[in-house]
Amino acid sequence: MESSQDDEEIIERVAALDIGKAELVCCVRVPGQGPTGRRRQEVSTYATMTRSLLTMVDRLRALGVTRVVMEATSDYWKPAFYLLEAAGFDPWLVNARDVKHLPGRPKTDRLDAVWLCKVAERQMIRPSFVPPAPIRELRDLTRYRVDLIGARTAERSRVEKLLEDAQIKLSVVASDIFGISGRDMMAALISGQRDPKILAQMARSRLRAKITQLEEAFVGRFTDHHGFLLAKMLDRVDAITANIADVDQRIEQHIAVFADAGRRLDEIPGVGPATAHVIIAEVGVDMSRFPTPAHLASWARFAPGVKESAGKSKGTGFTGHGNPYLARVLGEAAVAAGKTDTFLGERYRRIARRRGNRRTIVAVGRSILTIVWHLLNDPTTRFTDLGSDFYDTRVNPERNHIRQLEALGYTVTLTAA
C-alpha cells in the first residue's frame, strides 16, 4: 500500500459563477447552523454591469467567501475576475472541460453554478494560469501585433491577386513586390503609367539586372478599375504598418520593466527580441506558478499526453491544443535554431532525420521552454550553449565515430585491444 497525499478538506466558504454575456449566476455554499452539519446554499442572479458586479462582491465579502471560481467562458469572465481581484479576493479561472456535468443530467445556468460550486468546495479542480496585470497588458499588445501582421499579410495577398487579375506578373520577377522598387512601380500604375519600358526602368539595385523580364511582366491590361482598388489596398497596408510601429513602441515601453529577462531569453538560439517579448507576455516572469519545467511544457501543450490501458501504453504523440500565440513563436524559434551551429541546432537535425520536422519542432520547442523556465526561475542564471558537438563527445562517442566513418564509405570492424 502506498500513501496518498489527496487533501480531503472541504473549503468552508466557496462561491462559483456561471457567467454569460448579460448576466451571471452566483452559487455560494457556507457552513450551516445547528448540529446537523448541513451546508447552506444561496443561488442568485446578477447582471454583468459593473454596479451589479460590485453588489455581488459586497455580498460575497459579507458571507466571508474565501474562494471564487468561474469557468473560462469566452471573454465574459474578465470583468468579474478583475473586479474580484481588485477587491482582494483570490479568484480561480477553471477550464470548462474539467467541470462538465455528468451525461444525462439536466443543464441550466443555475445547475451549472451549483455543480461548479460543489466541485470547487471539494478541491477537485485546479486554477488556470491568469497572469498579473502588467503581464496581461503586455500580452494584449503582443497578441494585437500578431493580429495586425496577419491583417497586413492578408491585404498584401489581395494586392498580388489584383495584379494577377490585371495580368501584371511583377511577383514572378521581383521576390518582394512591396520593396522600394515595387512600391514605385505600383504607384506609377495607379497614377496612370502603362508603358512597360518606363515602369521597368524604376527598378533599383539588383532588380535592374531583370529589366527585360520586368518589361515583359508589365505587359497586361491594368485598368482604372484596378488602379482604384490597388490604391485602397496600398493605403490599408501603409495604415496597418503604421499601427504596427505604434504597437512596437508601446511594447518597448511595457517590456522595459522586464528588460533583464528579455535580454537573457534573447541569448537562446532562435529566440530574438520579438520572440522573447511574446514568451514573457504569455508565460510571465514568475515561475512559481510552474513548479518544474515539465509543468510549463505540459501547460503549453509541448508534451505528448500519456494514455495507458490494460498495462499497454497507447501514446499517439498528440500534444493537444495549447496557447496558439506561444506555440507559433516557439515553432519559429525551433526552426531558426535548427539552422544554427549550436546544441539546439544539432538536436533539431538529429531528431528531424528520424522523426520528421513536425515532431522535431515540438521536441526542440520543449527544450527551449525548459531553458526559458530555468532562466526565469533564477534571475542570476545565464544561458550557456552546450555546443553542436555535445552528442559526439558525451553520448556514446564510439558509436558516433563509427557512423561518421561509415558515412565516408568505410566499413568499420571493432577489435578489442
* Amino acid at the residue 61: R
Tell whether 363 and 406 lie within a shared domain. no
Write out pLDDT tens, residues 364-407.
999 999 999 999 999 888 998 888 877 777 666 666 667 777 77
Distance CA 239, CA 283 (A): 31
- Residue whose grid cell is 501582421: 149
pLDDT at residue 226 in the model: 95
Write out pLDDT tens, residues 247-257.
999 999 999 99
Identify the CA nearest to 278 among candidates 412, 147, 96, 128: 147
315 occurs within a structural domain: yes
Tell whether 168 and 207 lie within a shared domain. yes
Distance CA 164, CA 221 (A): 10
Domain boundary among 98, 121, 144: 121
Distance CA 115, CA 102 (A): 10
129 occurs within a structural domain: no
pLDDT at residue 3 in the model: 46
143 occurs within a structural domain: no
Q: Is 44 helix (H, G, I), strand (E, B) or coil?
A: strand
pLDDT at residue 371 in the model: 94
pLDDT in tens, the chain (417 residues): 444 444 456 788 899 998 888 999 999 998 877 666 688 888 999 999 999 999 999 999 999 998 999 888 788 899 999 999 999 888 999 877 666 655 556 778 788 888 888 888 888 888 888 888 899 999 999 999 999 999 999 999 999 999 999 999 999 999 899 999 999 999 999 999 999 999 999 999 889 999 999 999 999 999 999 999 999 999 999 999 999 999 999 999 999 999 899 999 999 999 999 999 999 999 999 998 899 999 998 888 887 655 555 556 555 555 566 788 999 999 999 999 999 999 999 999 989 988 888 889 999 999 999 999 999 999 888 998 888 877 777 666 666 667 777 777 777 776 776
Tell whether 281 and 379 lie within a shared domain. yes
**At 310, phi and psi to the nearest 5?**
55, 35
**At 220, phi and psi to the nearest 5?**
-155, -155
Tell whether 296 and 341 lie within a shared domain. yes
Domain boundary among 218, 244, 270: 244
| Contact of 209 with 227, CB cutoff 8 Å | no
Tell whether 273 and 371 lie within a shared domain. yes
Domain that holds residue 233: 152-244
224 occurs within a structural domain: yes
Tell whether 300 and 372 lie within a shared domain. yes
**At 43, phi and psi to the nearest 5?**
-120, 125
pLDDT at residue 358 in the model: 86
Show the cell assigned to 177: 513586390
The counts of H helices and E strands in the chain are: 17, 7
Distance CA 371, CA 389 (A): 19
Which residues, listed in sequence order, are joined to residue 382 by a DSSP beta bridge? none
Tell whether 237 and 282 lie within a shared domain. no
For every residue of 283-297, which 3-state class applies, written as one string? HCCCHHHCCCHHHHH
- Residue whose grid cell is 539586372: 209
What does R_g of the chain's alpha carbons equal in angstroms?
29
Contacts of 316 (CB under 8 A, 6+ apart): 304, 305, 307
Distance CA 138, CA 151 (A): 20
139 occurs within a structural domain: no
Tell whether 236 and 319 lie within a shared domain. no
Our CA angle for 106, 107, 109, nearest 5°, is 145
Q: Is 111 helix (H, G, I), strand (E, B) or coil?
A: helix
Show the cell assigned to 296: 510549463
Distance CA 262, CA 178 (A): 31
pLDDT at residue 124 in the model: 81
Tell whether 373 and 330 lie within a shared domain. yes
**At 2, phi and psi to the nearest 5?**
-115, 145
Tell whether 362 and 374 lie within a shared domain. yes
Tell whether 399 and 302 lie within a shared domain. no
pTM metric for this prediction? 0.81
136 occurs within a structural domain: no
pLDDT at residue 165 in the model: 94
**Tally of structural domains, the chain:** 4
pLDDT at residue 38 in the model: 80
Domain boundary among 244, 278, 297: 244
pLDDT at residue 355 in the model: 85
Tell whether 307 and 331 lie within a shared domain. yes
pLDDT at residue 309 in the model: 56
135 occurs within a structural domain: no
Distance CA 294, CA 302 (A): 9
147 occurs within a structural domain: no
Helix residue ranges per DSSP H, 221-311: 224-255, 259-266, 273-283, 293-299
